[in-house]
């Protein structure tokens, strides 16, 4: 499902114009991105959490040059689904 599909589905379910729904979806995504870039987690009860995870420093290899490099500690965004969401998906996906 793409963002356009989500906009279409919300528009059909609510009767709101697609352009307004698109602006709302874009604003939601921008808000989540902004919060995560500030190191703040986003919690949506019954859906899940958008969290910032810390990746420890590690060593990697450049295979073509046969050398090792140090990958510094960094932060990445992650999504942790709510238990109710997970159980719903387990029941319905076959």
Structural domains in the chain (count): 1
CA 46, CA 32: separation in Å to the nearest integer?
17
Question: Which phi and psi angles does 70 have, rounded to 5°?
Answer: -100, 120
H/E element, 62: strand 58-62
Pairing of strands 48-55, 58-62: unpaired
Confidence at 43, pLDDT banded by 50, 70, 90: very high
Give pTM, 2 decimals.
0.79
What are the tens digits of pLDDT across the range 10-35? 999 999 999 999 999 999 999 999 99
Q: Can you give the CATH number for the domain in which 7 is found? A: 4.10.520.10
Kindly state the DSSP code that residue 3 receives in the 8-state scheme.
H
The parent domain of residue 53 ranges over 3-92
- Find tokens 């859906």 and name the residue: 47
């Amino acid at each position: 499902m793409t963002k356009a599909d989500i906009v279409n589905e919300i528009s059909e379910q609510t009767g709101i114009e697609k352009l307004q729904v698109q602006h709302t979806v874009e604003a939601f995504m921008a808000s989540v991105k902004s919060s995560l870039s500030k190191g703040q987690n986003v919690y949506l009860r019954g859906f899940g959490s958008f969290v910032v995870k810390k990746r420890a420093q590690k060593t990697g290899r450049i295979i073509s040059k046969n050398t090792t490099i140090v990958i510094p500690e960094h932060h990445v965004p992650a999504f942790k689904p709510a238990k109710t969401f997970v159980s719903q998906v387990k029941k319905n996906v076959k």
